[in-house]
Amino acid sequence: MIRILLAEDEEAMRTYLARALQNAGYEVVSVDRGTEALPLLQTEHFDLLLSDIVMPEMDGIELAQRCAEISPATKVMFITGFAAVTLKANREAPQAKVLSKPFHLRDLVMEVERIFNNASQALI
């Protein structure tokens, strides 16, 4: 089963995203900040880091950079409501997918599926 680490500081959004991904068949571990996600990346395996960009203590971009050092096989996807932050994310983590808020939960699930379908086809 694909494991996703979700880092989102807004509780309602975190709950909705986790539920949508779990309903789609993914195992989701959710945290409310990057500093809480970091030790999990060091001790557990995750296939995807799904992170808000703007969070307290450690933003999603720094978290993604640390993730690349700790767990280079973990894919990264950002979610954000700020267009300027999207541009920064594309510049600093060009391999990561960025999904801008607002988005439909179905769109999120489709993007996650696309990430793993593309990865599995690359192995063929």
Tokens of 94: 């060009």
Across-strand partners of 121?
Answer: none
Task: pLDDT band for 100, please (50, 70, 90 cuts).
Answer: confident
48, 5 contact by CB (below 8 A): yes
CB neighbour list of residue 27: distance below 8 Å, 6 or more residues apart = 1, 2, 3, 4
How many angstroms separate the CA atoms of 121 and 5, rounded? 23
Residues 97 and 77 sit within 8 Å (Cβ to Cβ): yes
Query: What's the pLDDT band for 123 if we cut at 50, 70, 90?
Result: very low
pLDDT in tens, 40-79: 999 999 999 999 988 999 999 899 999 999 999 999 999 9
Quote the CA–CA distance of 32 and 35 in Å, as a whole number: 9
Domain boundaries, the chain: 3-123
Q: 3-123, what's its fold?
A: Rossmann fold (3.40.50)
HSE, CB side, 13 Å, CA atoms: give it for residue 49. 34
The pair of three-digit structure tokens given for residue 23, joined into one six-digit string: 């309903």
Average pLDDT, the chain: 87
